[in-house]
Amino acid sequence: MAHYKLETQLSKMKDATLPQTYHHLLRGVGEQRDSPAAQEAKGDLLSLLEGVPFDRPIEPLPENVVKSALQLPAGSKSGPVLHPLKGRTSTIRPCKAPGLIHAPPPTSKERATQAEKQKGKSKDDKERKEKKEKKKKKREREDASLLQKLLAPLVTELRALTWAGWVVSGKPGNPFVQKFTRENCKRLGVPNYFDYVKDPMDLTRMKEKVEHAEYSKIDQLTADVKLMAANAKTFNRVGEPVHQMAIEIEQLYESKLADYKKTFEELQQERKKRKKDKKKRKDKKKDK
């Protein structure tokens, strides 16, 4: 303890006494003002706080005393506004006397200005959202146009697959080319197909979607291929020919998927580059 030279501070702490009243809190109040009103206000506060134990809460002060104590000297900036609560009560303890210090309520003009600002902000947000949505839809249309050309050969390749276990007119065929409708299922001898499959999918439907540019993402085509395979595996038991064909066509598609995704990303980058170049040329013309 001696090493840190704390003896002096410890001796002072032993001799120190804690305040017994709130009197010490008024140190400096009214000292910068020589007016009788300031001295009178300080005297009023001292008389009110005199004898109040320091460990007890202060009762609400009369409004006239608070007003006098908060008067600012000439030339100083405006301080807090004294605004009566008109019967309101504090959330902490009851307010026996009005006269708490808080900001006055906004005027009707201020409220109207604030409402106008909020209205303008909401309008700007709405316009920004609509503009963003338009850009998104435009980009989706452009992606669908790219995929229309890119995916057509892939769907054609899947439709060209044949299996010896599925014979059509004496030749190996593809069970996924036929469009799954109730009429076709009855003709194929599986009228109960829709009892097991609620969302049919086939390569003919995929071809139509590609032709109408309904795919804006490769993942959408992937979802349809997986749905088609899942339907086939649901309706046909393990070991049956069509069940195995569904596994094979799904595996073939997944083996080609990475290359098609890479090609699609390259096409997107080329499109972005063309747009940037076009914008640069347009800006140069404006500068000229």
**In this structure, what token pair is assigned to residue 159?**
């439709």
287 against 269, higher pLDDT: 269
Task: For residue range 34-57, list pLDDT tens digits in order.
Answer: 556 556 665 666 666 665 665 555
Model-wide pTM > 0.85: no
CA 54 to each of CA 20, 25, 50, 96, 252: distance values in angstroms, whole numbers, following the listed order: 5, 10, 10, 21, 85
Q: How many CB atoms lie within 10 A of CB 264?
A: 17
Q: Is residue 61 assigned to a domain?
A: no
Is residue 268 within 8 Å of residue 147, measured between CB atoms?
Answer: no
Nearest residue to 67 (alpha-carbon basis) of 110, 35, 38, 89: 38
Calculated CA dihedral for residues 244, 246, 252, 257, nearest 10 degrees? -150
Closest by CA to 210, choosing from 228, 230, 224, is 224
5 belongs to a structural domain: no
Three-state secondary-structure class, residue 82: strand
Tell me the CATH number at 243.
1.20.920.10
Q: How many domains does the chain have?
A: 1
Does 137 fall in a domain?
no
207 domain residue, yes or no: yes
The tens digit of pLDDT for each residue in 206-232 reads 999 999 999 999 999 999 999 999 999
- Three-state DSSP at 110 gives helix
134 located within any domain: no
Residue 219 lies in a domain: yes
| Helix or strand run (H / E) with residue 172 | strand 171-173
CB 37 within 8 A of CB 68: yes
Q: Which domain holds residue 233?
A: 165-283
Whether 223 is covered by a domain: the verdict is yes
Residue 64 lies in a domain: no
